[in-house]
Structure 1
């Protein structure tokens, strides 16, 4: 496996290589792989390109982000790499969108086939790319103090000396939460984090016994009126860290499945 694939697409190590492979194998086509016929282009007689589609460059895996930063038209020429995908990673399904036999889109034969080409030690890197969430990555990379939900903390003017403890009155909207729903959710789901598996009692002994936080899968702030909450399906039990990550952004709720996948990819 070669890490330097041409003019702009380069990988620091195998982990980056397989992360990008996983990203290109996604069901969502953020980047389309295609070939163009050109008999004078060399022994392969085809020019390979990667085409950016409906996604912010800043949200891509780093090797792709750096490559597309050099592009003026949302595409990069990477003939060697496209040939590598075709010959070594089962990107062999072809679609001729124009009927001219000049430009062909390349797709993976199947996820299972691509996985056959991934060494066991790099499967987590592959899956990290496959489950890459461009929206979350874009927000993290472009984060500012105003984007983070810090429960009342806001960005202040820079000053040489900072003081704390001043009383401030906040006017805000609070949403009623049912203690009975919380207790029922804990009875149903238990006190082990349903995202990362953290157990407060196991970590802190008697002090942590029975403690867990309850998260509304659909934020109360998104509701226009009172609703009946089903603790079995509308609430989950999570640790404090996962709860904060779900609410990391002020205007975007990280989904439970997104966070589960992030945790799983980091194992």
Structure 2
């Protein structure tokens, strides 16, 4: 296993600036109705062009990319429109508005209510994630579908780690590249707001040892959660189709309850068989 790469220290403002710069570089002048003049040395739009489209000064936009200033939601919405950001990217940019306080999270433990919910979901796989996506509670169905987290070292009990660093994941997940890329985008959007959080930094450094993750992370891709059907090639149960359901735990901010629900009768039967024989 290759050594983990530790990301360079950063701040929310620098994270925002780097993201805006990456989106400016990919935007072609003709896309926003500007002439593509000969001899352009900028891969995408110039800073002055983005500033003009957003209705702000070039100096202010430059400082924004350099991470030297914060700004308002109104300005960031204008910049997002100028850069033709999609809804997920716009939401990511707006998460950096400094009027909203950085997230604060409680300790990583699951309440009795969440523990009861996870247990009663059996045989359907279910798990509770803390704000860093560490697995803090799971049922027999989850252990049978993937692996029993109790067999992993504590720092390996993490959803992102399982997808990128647990070798069986690439054969278990039928659409590994699609699912892994989307998951990393969601995680990046979450971690960017607290770049000095040691657990986030530790996980990013570990995951970047994977070349796919390193490439996608370098592109500063972000993603939002989308309900979807995940396909599995299980070594015992065979092909499975499971609907991925995610619920926020209101009583425990930052925690989420995940369940994998059968999408067809064959999967329902296979899931019950897995738990019965596990």
Smaller-chain TM-score bracket: under 0.3
When you count helix as a share of all residues, which structure comes out higher? 2
TM-score normalised by L of structure 1: 0.27
